[in-house]
Amino acid sequence: MKFRDGMWLVAEGKRPEYAEDVYSITQHPAGNALSLLCPTKKILERFDSLNLPTLTIDIRAPFDGVISVETTHWLGALNPAPHFDLYPAGKPETSDAEIIQTDSAVTLKSGSISATVKTSDHDFDIRFHATDGSKELTSLLNRSVGFTYSPGPGNMMQTGDMSKFQHYVFTQTTLSVGESVHGLGERFGAFNKVGQAITLWNADGGTSSDQAYKNVPFWMSSRGYGIFIDTPDKVELEVGSERCCRVQTSIEGQRLKWYIIHGPTPKEVLQKYSILTGKPGKVPSWSHGLWLSTSFTTNYDEKTVNSFLEGMKARDIPVEVFHFDCFWLRAFHWCDFVFDSEMFPDPKAQIERLKASGLVKKVCVWINPYLSQACPVFKLAASKGYLLKRTNGDIFQWDMWQTGMGIVDFTNPEACEWFVSCLQSLFDKGVDAIKTDFGERIPSIDVEWFDSSLSPRKMHNYYAFLYNRVVYEALQDRFGENEAVLFARAATAGTQRFPLQWGGDCESTPEAIAESVRGGLSLGLCGYSFWSVDIGGFEGYPPPWIYKRWVAFGLLCSHSRLHGSNSFRVPWTVDNDDKTDQGCSKILAKWTALKARLMPYIFAQAQKAVEEGLPLSLRAMCLEFPDDPTSWFLDRQFMFGDSLLVAPIFEESGDVEFYLPKGRWTNFFTNKTKDGPGWFKEKHNFDTLPLYVRENTILVLGKWHETRTVYDYSKGVEVCLYQTSSGAKTTLVDAEGEEIGVLKVGADGHLVDQEFLDGAWHVTKNGRSTIKTGSKAIEG
């Protein structure tokens, strides 16, 4: 939202007031906080203090490396819940907070970051900088903190009735020359957000708009800091779009709080952000295998399901999870948790037979938090107070998605217990995972939650947290703390604790592949370790070349799911069962097998990503190469963990251009090397893409014939050394994620500490054994 018309004029219908002076500073006795009284004009004489608004700016040091800034106009205004669930693992002690005062400034030190407030000459000037003086991060300068009335009152007497006015609080942090901004949830537009106006408001808008399913009020700067806006309310940002040199953050209300988090590296920023909002949850090893799903096209009778899975097995494509989407339920009965009796006369027995056949190991079903009024359970839920109500006491209903649907009210503890009991009935029938669809279109007007103290507007985004937490904790209770898996579409800050998330409804186009890459990169920079995408695109009928390019990309995401709306995603239906080496079936088999061989690396990296609050894949290049300016603008490639570089291909021809940062990089398929930094062009068939291994990497691969996801990651493996030097190391974990050993390169260039390896394992130097791949279709 813009409050000015250019630099000189006020926007029509707005009346902004700015903090112009720091009149007084109160220091907290503990030495970890400052409170600034800031009038909206310079106070030069006593009379200036009358009939004058002030803003209170509280600057605190919550823990080392982080500073919070809270701006308030009227301190007496309520601040209703919900609030983000901060410090879920406990708040760290502030060991290095200090206030330093000079004749011209007061500085609050919080470990590696400090805030300095100028106290001379009535200038409004707050600088955030590295404590060691090495770098200024950002600042709040003239006309950068204030509030706005809309419409602008003729005089202040009119504000006695605030029902006629909207009131906003805003801050404008400075943008330095060349600074870029990233994150703010799963955003499908330009990776660098400078120049964009962004509204953080969950919406079901697909992947080709400025709307987002996952709005996260956190952004990362290329200057070594991040900012977390501490509210689930609607937040509007002008990222270099009202003033080119500032990021404006505004919210309707009387207060705005945010945290500035210093790295100095982007990895350290995310580590500290995960202390605030929570580390990602762990996922089991089986979840990294291939998931098969279809949506509106499938009749889920046993014969049809088995035909899909038998077809996959016949083509050497192992499926780890079969997902039953919407129509496991009866039409007009979404979501009553009752299997369609025509297709599932005995769902428990059918699922048992499916698993016993060996065609699939796990089963997932689709749910959403809405109840159609055609469901018999609707009346029960309504009578018990389990559904969201209007302010007049009616159940909130509309005919969006399902006829007369109501929305489960997760602020009611009894509604949560009932919902969990419904989930338990699914688990009893053999369901292992849950896809938590929807949860974005939550009304914020004319509604009252069971907990009536909650702000309906804040609940719009926060609903995603409550919904996914209920389901995730139910999965944990049944299957174990680290065995819970859900597939979530809606999210906000903190839902990284409930993995995993997928990118929503994308089209079957190369542009949608690129949109999905940008969405995954942006969400990863908000601390989400695990992310997936609908391979082939959700909407439309992918031609074979798009399907195959998407397969290559999708099998190098942390999780891989074939899913479509009105067309199947089993490969033989895409290209009339082309049986050649470049046909859809052979290509899917090759990429699925490659991911299985990579599992020793993938699962070890997954544990590391969770511990450090980092994305596993898609990992933005800037996280690994923050000192390379180019890395902050790369939105068509990514890192899978810290050692593999992936560049998806968007052209039918196989032409691709990608960037390699400084160092020696080895092509995974050919063992040929390239030296960065630099841009490179290649041409690929469908069974390869630019997959490069970083120098000084020990890459452990499963056995040649390995196609499973879960196996002994230390037995019969191939240990590949890529341009390694003394001290290079890698950690190996077992299929439960427990560390079993560390491989190191000694001073003589050979491996040490190998006693935990088992079976016929072997070492290859300067790459891997390529005898059995025979990939000769790469042109550079």
Q: Residue 700 carries which DSSP code?
A: E
Whether pLDDT at 774 is above 90: no
Q: Are 1-76+95-156 and 285-367+412-612 the same fold in CATH?
A: no
User: Using one digit for the tens of pLDDT, what is the confidence trace for 7-41?
Assistant: 999 999 999 999 999 999 999 998 999 999 999 99
d(CA 36, CA 119): 11
Sheet with 697-701, edge to edge strand ranges:
697-701, 718-722, 762-765
When the pLDDT of each residue in the chain is averaged and rounded to a whole number, the result is 96
Specify whether the CB–CB gap between 224 and 137 falls below 8 A: yes
Nearby residues of 111 by Cβ (< 8 Å), 6 or more positions away: 61, 63, 64, 65, 66, 95, 96, 97, 131, 262
pLDDT recorded at residue 777: 64
Task: Tell me which CATH homologous superfamily contains domain 1-76+95-156.
Answer: glycosyl hydrolase (family 31) (2.60.40.1760)
Is 606 in a helix, a strand, or coil?
A: helix
Three-state SS string across 122-154, please? Answer: CCCCEEEEECCCCCEEEEECCCCEEEEEECCCC
CB-count exposure of residue 364 (10 Å: 0-12, 13-18, 19+) = buried
Q: Residue 756 carries which DSSP code?
A: T
Is 198 in a helix, a strand, or coil?
A: strand
d(CA 547, CA 532): 16
User: Using one digit for the tens of pLDDT, what is the confidence trace for 186-244?
Assistant: 999 999 999 999 999 999 999 999 999 999 999 999 999 999 999 999 999 999 999 99
User: Using one digit for the tens of pLDDT, what is the confidence trace for 263-317?
Assistant: 999 999 999 999 999 999 999 999 999 999 988 888 899 999 999 999 999 999 9
- Within 10 Å of residue 105's Cβ, how many Cβ atoms? 16
Whether pLDDT at 772 is above 80: no
pLDDT recorded at residue 96: 85
Q: Determine which one of 186, 409, 432, 440 is catalytic.
A: 440
Domain residue extents for the chain:
1-76+95-156, 285-367+412-612
d(CA 225, CA 523): 17
Nearby residues of 559 by Cβ (< 8 Å), 6 or more positions away: 283, 287, 288, 291, 500, 502, 530, 531, 532
d(CA 73, CA 389): 32
d(CA 56, CA 255): 9
Q: Determine which one of 204, 409, 432, 505 is catalytic.
A: 505
The question of whether 121 is a catalytic residue gets the answer no
Residue 536 identity (one-letter amino acid): G
d(CA 84, CA 93): 20
Q: How far is CA 425 from CA 63, 350, 363, 489, in A?
A: 44, 15, 14, 23
User: Using one digit for the tens of pLDDT, what is the confidence trace for 395-411?
Assistant: 999 999 999 999 999 99
Q: Determine which one of 17, 437, 483, 635 is catalytic.
A: 437
Structure tokens that stand for 405 in this block: 């649907």
Q: How far is CA 201 from CA 443, 459, 491, in A?
A: 11, 11, 11
Question: Which percentage of the chain shows pLDDT scores above 70?
Answer: 99
Nearest-5° angle of CA 581, CA 586, CA 590? 110
Whether pLDDT at 776 is above 80: no
User: Using one digit for the tens of pLDDT, what is the confidence trace for 473-518?
Assistant: 999 999 999 999 999 999 999 999 999 999 999 999 999 999 999 9
Among the listed residues 240, 263, 123, 73, the one whose alpha carbon sits nearest the alpha carbon of residue 172: 240
Among the listed residues 543, 646, 659, 558, the one whose alpha carbon sits nearest the alpha carbon of residue 599: 558
Residue 388: pLDDT band (50, 70, 90) is: very high
Among the listed residues 686, 627, 687, 694, the one whose alpha carbon sits nearest the alpha carbon of residue 660: 694
CATH class of the 285-367+412-612 domain in this structure: alpha beta
pLDDT recorded at residue 771: 60
Question: Which percentage of the chain shows pLDDT scores above 90?
Answer: 95
Sheet with 225-229, edge to edge strand ranges:
24-27, 33-39, 54-63, 66-72, 255-262, 225-229, 218-221, 181-183
Residue 767: pLDDT band (50, 70, 90) is: very high
d(CA 456, CA 447): 7
Structure tokens that stand for 288 in this block: 């990294």
The question of whether 575 is a catalytic residue gets the answer no
The average pLDDT across 628-654 equals: 98
The question of whether 505 is a catalytic residue gets the answer yes
The average pLDDT across 68-85 equals: 98
Is the CA virtual torsion 346, 347, 348, 354 positive or negative? positive
d(CA 668, CA 661): 16
β partners of residue 208: none
Is the CA virtual torsion 424, 287, 485, 407 positive or negative? negative
User: Using one digit for the tens of pLDDT, what is the confidence trace for 526-573?
Assistant: 999 999 999 999 999 999 999 999 999 999 999 999 999 999 999 999
